[in-house]
Structure 1
């Protein structure tokens, strides 16, 4: 059962091995190398990989369900997260009221400074709420979701994961993600906020989707297709290396309780609820497994970029990123057992 021929064992060997290699390289090399690798993958590796895998993928069936499922999962997760935040804020208000009543028994005067102190001690400040919701909605469905999907579901059903990521998660990052960051954070030094439409237009992966679909009907020489396929699989490997390099740059791990709560909703509860619901729409087998795996991905590293740009709770964001990658190793067997 636990042999190298087992797809799950091979996946774990690759996930752990290449990520650890990236972690070591991230400690040894200057941080700029991570930026160079990320840009190379974003502008070269990922677009070529999308075109290559789309030529092998099966686009039959109701594949439009994939992006629809992505948006449903995003709003279900955000809704569950908002309920948890509201419970936490309500609990804080109740405790503040109790402290206020006790304080009035001892003193008549309640100054504004006391109120400010109580507000500053809030565990659910605006930036914390923003980071909590942001980590809940934006999953690492590309650099980590693609390797997991390809290893466990295969290139034939890769289009389901691809449509989930590009038309779901990617667009959500520049719409819902930016909206949440704007609502709960603020840009530093009055810097102009990024235009979400311009950001989407500069994302090569989105342009690669229609190009890849169109090139399915264009015959190419064997040398070119083999080269594209080699670049595609190399990109999958380098994506894991880059994740390890990014993890090596994370410094503080705080708010562990909130991070674990966030990850439990994002990586356990939401995939279970939405994945079970897909059964009632006739979506089963490998397509459903591909989407459940995407739903169960840890938060994307773009959440840290957004959190820094909008002054959200960086410590909470960093903690969810680090623990999310570790938690993924324990959740993948659960989804294979339930939905394979």
Structure 2
């Protein structure tokens, strides 16, 4: 309970600070901060946290679970669309269906998942969250997510942008470098400052979420967003979390995986929705509402698992 309260104070405090700053600071500031975190902060943070992470055990199963969660979310969203059409005789527009499926399957396992996993289970198990995100959510969003966007969206598709988003992602390269850098001995002072920089990056990432939320003002698609969040943040973690022991995952490792599965929709869903002309209002509403719902669901998953 003490850990949860401390986490809430940090999460709410930093996100709220970012929310306030997002309303006060010039518009380019959040963009510049996002660029700094994308190109510098997050990659260095990944290298730093990997040095203290435990890579033993079945860690490679983390991305496999991520793909299961993504596919299950997409399948349940498809069932929800068909169920709504059957029971209400109303059919969602194609762009809305695309955003609905995306919001149900891809989670914010990086900017939000990392700090929560670090706070609740420590750096030792950070690699599980990292493998889930880097080798699971990233490709789930920009591979399967793009395929779904092409199916339900329209307009001009810039495939080079999507390809670049995957293969020129500095976080992915730092992930590989961090695995090699684990074996390098560095001075204690450098290790200290590297660690402090990494934690500062976590704080800035949470503030950036607040800044972005300060600009999300659309709630017109709340019913559809509520359904997608029920799938993404309740059904998928509950179903897959209950069978994790079958994969040999228990204790802190299972907790990390469940927390990652229970994250709200990723900002990548909004990027994809805008790129492929899906329902932007639904993507925006799911992002904002999901960040609030997390405060309720987080203690549930920690209690159950």
Do the structures match in fold with TM over 0.5?
yes
The Cα of 1:30 is off from its aligned counterpart by 2.1
Could you tell me how far apart the structure 1 residues matched to 2:19 and 2:10 are? Answer: 14
Residue 202 of structure 1 and its aligned partner are, at CA, apart by: 1.4
2:66 is the counterpart of 1:70 = yes
Cα distance between partner residues in 2 of 1:302 and 1:211: 24
Which residue is equivalent to 2:18?
22
Q: How many residues align?
A: 305
Counterpart CA distance in 2 for 1:288 and 1:269 is 16
Deviation by residue 1:110-153 (Cα, 9 ceiling, x = unmatched): xxxxxxxxxxxx55110000000111121100000001000001
Matches within 5 A, 1:193-212: 193-212=159-178
- Alignment match of 1:331 (pick from 287, 290, 297): 297
* Offset at residue 195 of structure 1 (A): 4.6
> Which residue of the partner structure matches residue 264 of structure 2?
298
Deviation at 1:64, TM superposition (A): 0.7
Pairing 1:288–2:254 present? yes
- In structure 2, runs of 5+ residues without a counterpart are none
Query: Quick one: distance in 2 between partners of 1:247 and 1:197?
Result: 27
Q: Helix, strand or coil: the match of 1:56?
A: coil
TM-score (norm 2): 0.97
**Structure 1 unpaired stretches of 5+:** 96-121
1:159-203, Cα deviation, whole Å (9 max, x unpaired):
00000000000111110111111111123xx46344533221110
Matched with 1:168 is: 136
Give, in whole Å, the separation in 2 of the partners of 1:249 and 1:174: 24
Is 1:127 the counterpart of 2:98? The answer is no
Query: Contact conserved, 2:157 with 2:276, CA < 8 A, in 1?
Result: no
CA RMSD after TM alignment: 1.3
Partner residue of 1:88?
A: 84
Alignment partner for residue 274 of structure 1, among 240, 246, 269? Answer: 240
TM-score, L = length of structure 1: 0.87
Q: Are residue 46 (structure 1) and residue 14 (structure 2) matched?
A: no
Structure number with larger C-alpha Rg: 1
Q: 1:202-247 deviations in whole A, cap 9, x for unaligned?
A: 1011111111111111101112211111110001000110000000
Alignment correspondent of 1:36: 32
Deviation at 1:31, TM superposition (A): 2.1
